[in-house]
Structure 1
Amino acid sequence: MKKIKNMKGVLDGLRGLGGSSQSKSETESFDFEENLKSEDFKIAKIVCHGFPNAPCCIAFDPIQKLLAIGTKHGSIRILGQSGVDCNLSLDKEAIKQLIFIINEGGLISIASNNTISLWTIRQKEPTITMQMQFTKREDISHAYLPFQSKFIYIGTNQGNVYLLNIESFKVSGYDIKWNKAIGMRDSNHPGAVIHLSECPSDQSKLLIGFRKGLTVLWDLHKRDAVRFRHTEDLCSVAWHWEGRAFACSHIDGSLLKWTVKTPQKPTEHFFPRADLTEGDSAAAAASFRPISRVSWLSRKQDKAELLLFTGGGPQELPQPCLNIQAGRHIDVLMMEHAIIDIVPLCESPFVNDSSEAYAVAVLQQNDLTVIDLLSDG
C-alpha cells in the first residue's frame, strides 16, 4: 500500500482558501492512504453539451420525429422527443449528407471521402452495420432514397447517377450517364448532379437536376428523358405534391416553375424578393443573392400554396433570411447566423401526400431554429 506525503502545495492552497493556520511542520507531516488502482479508471464520454460545431447537413424522419445533424468534423447528432439525444462519430471525415431510412431505425451517412455508412439507431448505442467506399472514381455530389425503397440513387460531380442496394450495399448495374441524360442536341457537360427525386405521381420517373441549369425527367423503364433547359446555375429543386409541376431556384436569385407537359418554357420565371411596385424591368436589372434552397408546400387551412426559400434578397442586404411566400405575399424572417439548410417537418413521409408541413427546421451555422407554419403570424 502506497502512501502520499509532502502535500505541501495542495494543502497550502486549501489553507489559503479556508483561512487555515496550520504550521509548516503540521502540513509536511500530513499523509493519507491511497487505495485506487489503474483498473478503477476508465475514460468515457458522459455528456455531449451544446450545439454541434460546424454543422453542414440535416435530415428528418417524419414518422419517428427525429432530426439528424452532420458536421464538418465527422460527428452526427440525433435529436428527437424528450430524452432522445445521441452523438455519433465517423473518423473526423466531414459529413456530406444524411438520409434516414424512414421508420426503420436506419440512417445513411455519406462522408467527404465518399464512404457510405449504414447506421442502426434502434438500440441505445447506435452502430455501423454496413459500410462501403464508393469506387466509381467520382465524388458523390447528392444522394436520394425514396420512401420504402431498397435502392438509393447516387449522383456524382461528373453528372452520372448510380443505384446502390441498401440491403447488400452493392452498386447495381443500372446507371444513368450524363451524356444520355442531356440528349443528342447538347454536347456540353451539365455539371454535377445537385438534385434527385421521384415524381410524386409516377415512381418510374426520376427528376435529375444538374448544376449548370439543366433539369431532366428520366424514365427509368424506357431510358428516355424530358429536358427542361435554363441558362442560370441551378441551386435546388422542389416538386409540387401532385407531381405535375416543380420549382427550381437559381444562383441569380430567381425561381422558375415548370409543368411536366410543357418543357419548352417555364410557366413562371420571377424574382420573388424584387420590389413588385417597381415593375419587371427594375427586377430584371437588380442583383439578388442566390436562392440556395426551395420547398413547395400546401396549406390546407386556407387552401394556399407555400414557397419556402432561403436567400434571394438584394445583394446589398447580406443578412441571411428565410422567406415564406403565399400568393404574392412574402414574410421575410431574418436569421442571426448563416443558413446551412432547411427541412420542412411534415406528418406524412409520402411525397404525393398533400399533408401540410407543420413547421420548418432551419439549420444555421451556430443555431437550430424551428418555425411554426400553422399558427397565425
Structure 2
Amino acid sequence: MKRFRRHGTESQRDRLKQELFQFTKTVEHGFPHQPSALGYSSSLQLMAIGTRSGAIKLYGAPGVEFMGLHDENAAVTQVFFMPHQVELVTLLDDNSLHMWTLRSHKGLSELLEIGRFLLTGPPGAPPSVTRVTAVLTHSSGELLLLGTEGGHVFIVEVPGFRELEEMNISLDQITSCVPDDYIGRRNLEHVEALQENPVNSNQVAIGYGRGLMVIWDLDHRCAIRHIPATQQLESMWWTEDGSCILSSHNDGSYCCWTLRTGDEREEEEKSNVPYGHFPCKAINKIVQLPTAGGPPFLLFSGGMPRASYGDRHCITVIYSKTQVAFDFTSRIIDFFVTRDGPQHTGRLENLRTSSSLA
C-alpha cells in the first residue's frame, strides 16, 4: 500500500532527519563519471577529460588534479589544448565554446573559465551553417579553426573570440576548386576533420564527410591541392615530415596519400583494410608516429570485423610486420600517445583511453 503525505503535514522528526542526513558534496577525486571527451598537451604533460554533465577535469603528475564546471547543463563533446599555453578550449553539445586557464588565486591554482563564444551565422541562415563539427587549435596559439555541419570553416581569434570574417573559408570557395565531375557525383557534407601541416603552419587540410580532402593556404586564402577520396571519411593524420596525409574511413580501411611537389598530383597508395575483406567497423581515429631508427608506429581505433568483433572496443598498433590489438571493456571515446626523447621519437610508452591505460 502506498502512503501519501499532504504538503504542510511534515512532522518535526522528518524535518530533523532531512537536516541531519542532507547530502553535501565536499570533494571529488579520481576518474570522472560519464566521460565524453579527451584532450592532451604533450608540452605541458596534462590530460583533460570532459563529461556529459559539463564538468572538465585536468590531470598532471600524481596528485595534480583540477576540476571546473560549465554553467551550462550540456555535455562536453571536444577538448583541445592551446599549443604551448596553459589554456584549453572545450566544445559543448549546445554548440558553445569555452576557454579555460590555470590561475593562482589566494595561494592556490584553480581551473577558471576566462571566455565563452557562440558562433553566429548570417541572418536567416539554417543552424547547420554554424553547427561546429571539427576544431583545430592553430600552432600560433592565436587562432581557432571551426569546421561546421554546413561545410564552412570559420576562423576565430583567441583569447578574445573575435571572428575573422575575411579569413573564413566558405563551401563555395571549396567547390570552385574541385573538378565538376567530383562535385556532380556527391555532396561534400560536413567538415569531419581539420589538420595543420606540421612543417608549414600556413597550410591546413580540410576533410569532408563524403571523403574529399582539400589543402588550404591561409595566407593566400586559396586551395592549393585537393584529394578526391570516395569513401566516407572518419579522420585524418598529417605525418610529421609533411609528406603524407593518412585518411581513415567508415568501411574499416585507411589510405596514405603522398603529397607531390609542383604540379604533380597526389598519389593514393593501396587502400589497406587491416582486418580482412569482410565488412569491418569504421576506423574512428588514426595516428602515425615516427621512430628514431625504424618504421613508424601506426595506431588506430576501430576497424574490427563486424560479424565476429562488432561488440568489441579495440585499439590496434602496427609496427613493421607486427600487429597487436588491445581489447578494452568499455567504449573508446578517444586516445592519445605519449612519447619520450627530446624530439618525441622513440619507443611507444602507453596508450590512454577514456577508461583504461594500456
TM-score bin, normalised by smaller chain: 0.7 to 0.9
The yes-or-no answer on 1:236 pairing with 2:235 is yes
User: In 2, distance between residues paired with 1:206 and 1:304?
Assistant: 26
What letter is aligned with 1:245? Answer: C
- Residue 140 of structure 1 is matched in structure 2 by 132
**Which of 271, 277, 296 is equivalent to 2:273?**
271
- Residue 80 of structure 2 is matched in structure 1 by 99
- Residue 255 of structure 2 is matched in structure 1 by 256
- Deviation per residue, 1:184-222 (Å, 9 max, x gap): 522543111121121112222111111111111112233
**Which of 23, 47, 50 is equivalent to 1:67?**
47
- TM-score by length of structure 1 reads 0.78
- Deviation per residue, 1:290-339 (Å, 9 max, x gap): 11110011122x42211100111111213111100112321111111111
What letter is aligned with 2:271? Answer: H
SS of the residue corresponding to residue 180 of structure 1 reads helix
Q: Percent identity?
A: 22
CA contact under 8 A between 2:259 and 2:266: conserved in structure 1? no
- Deviation per residue, 1:225-257 (Å, 9 max, x gap): 311112211111111110010111100000100
- Residue 295 of structure 2 is matched in structure 1 by 304
User: In 2, distance between residues paired with 1:104 and 1:8?
Assistant: 55
**Count of aligned pairs between the two proteins:** 317
- Residue 316 of structure 2 is matched in structure 1 by 323
User: Unmatched 5+ residue regions in structure 1?
Assistant: 1-6, 10-37, 275-282, 372-377
CA contact under 8 A between 1:75 and 1:92: conserved in structure 2? no
User: In 2, distance between residues paired with 1:140 and 1:347?
Assistant: 34
**What are the within-5 Å matches in structure 2 for residues 123-202 of structure 1?**
123=104, 124-136=109-121, 137=127, 138-173=130-165, 174-182=167-175, 183-184=177-178, 185=180, 186-187=183-184, 188-202=186-200
Give how far 1:224 is off.
Answer: 2.2
User: In 2, distance between residues paired with 1:131 and 1:272?
Assistant: 42
- TM-score by length of structure 2 reads 0.82
How large is the Cα RMSD of the aligned pairs?
2.5
Indicate the structure (1 or 2) with the bigger Cα radius of gyration: 1
The yes-or-no answer on 1:314 pairing with 2:313 is no
User: In 2, distance between residues paired with 1:128 and 1:348?
Assistant: 33
- Mean Cα deviation higher: 248-257 or 51-60: 51-60
CA contact under 8 A between 2:132 and 2:147: conserved in structure 1? yes
- Residue 56 of structure 1 is matched in structure 2 by 36
Higher relative contact order (CA 8 A, sep 6+): 1
What letter is aligned with 1:96? Answer: T
What letter is aligned with 2:190? Answer: A
SS of the residue corresponding to residue 61 of structure 2 reads coil
CA contact under 8 A between 2:257 and 2:266: conserved in structure 1? no
**What are the within-5 Å matches in structure 2 for residues 334-349 of structure 1?**
334-346=327-339
